[in-house]
Chain A
Amino acid sequence: SAVSEKVRTRLEELDDLEEVGFCPHRCVCIHQDYANRIVEPNQSLKEAWSSDQKVKALKIVIQSCLFLGRLVYDRIWTMCSDSGPLPDSFTVEDVNDTAKETCLNWFFKIASIRELLPRLYVEAAILKCNRFLNKSDIQETLPRLTAMIRGIGDPLVAAYARAYLCRVGMEVAPHLKDSLNRNFFDLLGTFQQISGESVQSQLVQQRVEVPEYLTLYSPAISWILQCIAYRAPEPLLMEMMERCKKLGNNALLLNSVMRAFRPEFVAARAADFIGMIKDCDEAGFPKHLLFGSLGRSLACADPPESERLTILNEAWKVITKVRSPQDYINCAEIWVEFTCRHFTKREVNTILADIIKHMTPDRAFEDAYPQLQSVIRKILTYFHDFSILFSTERFLPFLDMFQKDSVRVEVCRAIMEVFIKHQVELTRDPVILNAMLHICKAMHDSVTDFFICVALTLEDERRSLALLIIGFIRMVSFGRDFEQQLSFCVEARATFCNLEPVLVQLIHTVNQLAMETRRVMRGSHSRKTAAFVRACAAYSYITIPSLSNIFSRLSLYLLSGQVALANQCLSQADAFLKAAVSILAEVPRSISVEGKIRSSESFLLDFISNFLATLLVVPDHPEHGVLYLVRGLLNMVQDYTWEDNSDAKVRVYVSALPLLAAMSQETYLYCIPKVDSNETLYGGDPKFLSELNKLCETLIGQILDHLKALGRDEHSARRQSALAFSLFGVLLAHGDLRNNKLSQLAVNLWNLSHKQGHCETRISVRTLEYIKHQAQQPDMTHLSDTVQRLALQSRT
Chain B
Amino acid sequence: MSVTLDIRLKRANKIYHEGETVAGVIVLVCKEPLQHHGISLNMEGLVNLQLSSKSVGVFEAFYNSVKPIQLISSNVEVAKAGKIPGGKTEIPFEFPLLTKGNKVLYETYHGVFVNIQYTLRCDMKRSLLAKDLSRNCEFIVHCQPQKAKVIPTPVNFTITPGTLQNTRERSLLPKFLIRGHLDATSCVISQPLTGEVVVENSDVPIKSIELQLVRVETCGVLKVCRDAQRSEYQIAEVCCHGLSIPSNVFPGGHCHMETHSIS
- A154 x B12 contact (CB < 8 A): no
Interface size on A, as a range, is: 20 to 34
CB neighbours of B190 from chain A (8 A)? 104
- B240 x A100 contact (CB < 8 A): no
Smallest Cβ-Cβ distance to B209: which chain A residue: A151
CB neighbours of A152 from chain B (8 A)? 236-237
- A116 x B235 contact (CB < 8 A): yes
- A144 x B248 contact (CB < 8 A): yes
Give the distance to chain A from B197, nearest Cβ to Cβ, in Å: 9
CB neighbours of A190 from chain B (8 A)? 240, 243
A108 to B231: give the CA distance in the assembly, Å: 14
A318 at the interface (CB under 8 A from B): no
A111 to B213: give the CA distance in the assembly, Å: 13
CB neighbours of B245 from chain A (8 A)? 147, 150-151
A112 at the interface (CB under 8 A from B): yes
Smallest Cβ-Cβ distance to B250: which chain A residue: A111
CB neighbours of A197 from chain B (8 A)? 205
Give the distance to chain B from A297, nearest Cβ to Cβ, in Å: 32
Supposing A112-B252, A189-B243 touch, asked if A150 and B12 sit within 8 A by C-beta, the answer is no
B residues 208-263 with Cβ under 8 Å of A?
Answer: 208-209, 231-240, 243-246, 248-250, 252
CB neighbours of B236 from chain A (8 A)? 116, 150-153
A114 to B252: give the CA distance in the assembly, Å: 13
A114 to B246: give the CA distance in the assembly, Å: 15
Which of B231, B243, B248 is in CB contact (< 8 Å) with A148?
B248
A481 at the interface (CB under 8 A from B): no
CB neighbours of A111 from chain B (8 A)? 192, 248-250
Which of A101, A115, A193 is in CB contact (< 8 Å) with B13?
A101
B residues 1-47 with Cβ under 8 Å of A?
Answer: 11-13
A42 at the interface (CB under 8 A from B): no
- B234 x A114 contact (CB < 8 A): yes
A738 to B11: give the CA distance in the assembly, Å: 123
- B237 x A112 contact (CB < 8 A): no
Give the distance to chain A from B131, nearest Cβ to Cβ, in Å: 21
A680 at the interface (CB under 8 A from B): no
Smallest Cβ-Cβ distance to B237: which chain A residue: A153
CB neighbours of B244 from chain A (8 A)? 150
Supposing A98-B12, A114-B232 touch, asked if A151 and B237 sit within 8 A by C-beta, the answer is yes
A148 to B231: give the CA distance in the assembly, Å: 18
- B243 x A154 contact (CB < 8 A): no
B-contact 0/1 string along A94-130, CB 8 Å cutoff: 0011101100100010011011110100000000000
Which of B12, B231, B246 is in CB contact (< 8 Å) with A100?
B12
A114 to B250: give the CA distance in the assembly, Å: 12
CB neighbours of A198 from chain B (8 A)? 205, 238
A116 to B209: give the CA distance in the assembly, Å: 10
Total contacting residues, chain B, CB less than 8 A: 27
A-contact 0/1 string along B157-177, CB 8 Å cutoff: 000000000000000000000
Supposing A98-B12, A111-B192 touch, asked if A193 and B240 sit within 8 A by C-beta, the answer is yes
Smallest Cβ-Cβ distance to B242: which chain A residue: A189
Give the distance to chain B from A151, nearest Cβ to Cβ, in Å: 3
A789 to B237: give the CA distance in the assembly, Å: 121
Q: Which of B209, B234, B249 lies at the interface centre, i.e. has the most chain A CB atoms within 10 A of its CB?
A: B234
A144 to B246: give the CA distance in the assembly, Å: 8
CB neighbours of B238 from chain A (8 A)? 153-154, 198
Which of A96, A108, A193 is in CB contact (< 8 Å) with B250?
A108
Supposing A96-B12, A97-B11, A111-B192 touch, asked if A150 and B243 sit within 8 A by C-beta, the answer is yes
CB neighbours of A192 from chain B (8 A)? 240
CB neighbours of A151 from chain B (8 A)? 209, 234-237, 239, 245-246
CB neighbours of B249 from chain A (8 A)? 111
Which of B12, B205, B237 is in CB contact (< 8 Å) with A97?
B12
Give the distance to chain A from B24, nearest Cβ to Cβ, in Å: 13
CB neighbours of B232 from chain A (8 A)? 114
Give the distance to chain B from A449, nearest Cβ to Cβ, in Å: 63
Smallest Cβ-Cβ distance to A196: which chain B residue: B240
Give the distance to chain A from B21, nearest Cβ to Cβ, in Å: 17
- B246 x A116 contact (CB < 8 A): no
A117 to B233: give the CA distance in the assembly, Å: 11
A119 to B211: give the CA distance in the assembly, Å: 14
Give the distance to chain A from B45, nearest Cβ to Cβ, in Å: 22
Give the distance to chain B from A79, nearest Cβ to Cβ, in Å: 10
Supposing A101-B12, A153-B236 touch, asked if A112 and B250 sit within 8 A by C-beta, the answer is yes
Smallest Cβ-Cβ distance to A152: which chain B residue: B237
Q: Which of B205, B240, B248 lies at the interface centre, i.e. has the most chain A CB atoms within 10 A of its CB?
A: B240
- B13 x A97 contact (CB < 8 A): yes
B residues 42-81 with Cβ under 8 Å of A?
Answer: none
Give the distance to chain B from A781, nearest Cβ to Cβ, in Å: 118
CB neighbours of A98 from chain B (8 A)? 12
CB neighbours of A144 from chain B (8 A)? 192, 194, 246, 248
Give the distance to chain B from A715, nearest Cβ to Cβ, in Å: 91
Closest A-B pairs by Cβ, 6 of them: A153-B238, A153-B237, A97-B12, A151-B236, A111-B250, A147-B246
What is the interface of chain A, defined by CB distance below 8 A to chain B?
Answer: 96-98, 100-101, 104, 108, 111-112, 114-117, 119, 144, 147-148, 150-154, 189-190, 192-193, 197-198
What is the interface of chain B, defined by CB distance below 8 A to chain A?
Answer: 11-13, 190, 192, 194, 205, 208-209, 231-240, 243-246, 248-250, 252
A-B contacts, 28 listed (Cβ < 8 Å): A97-B11, A97-B13, A100-B12, A104-B190, A108-B250, A111-B248, A111-B249, A116-B234, A117-B237, A144-B192, A148-B235, A148-B248, A150-B239, A150-B240, A150-B243, A150-B244, A150-B245, A150-B246, A151-B209, A151-B236, A152-B236, A152-B237, A153-B238, A153-B239, A154-B238, A189-B243, A190-B243, A198-B205
**A-B contacts besides A151-B234, A198-B205, 13 pairs, CB < 8 Å:** A100-B12, A101-B13, A111-B249, A116-B236, A116-B237, A148-B235, A150-B239, A151-B236, A151-B245, A152-B236, A189-B240, A190-B240, A198-B238
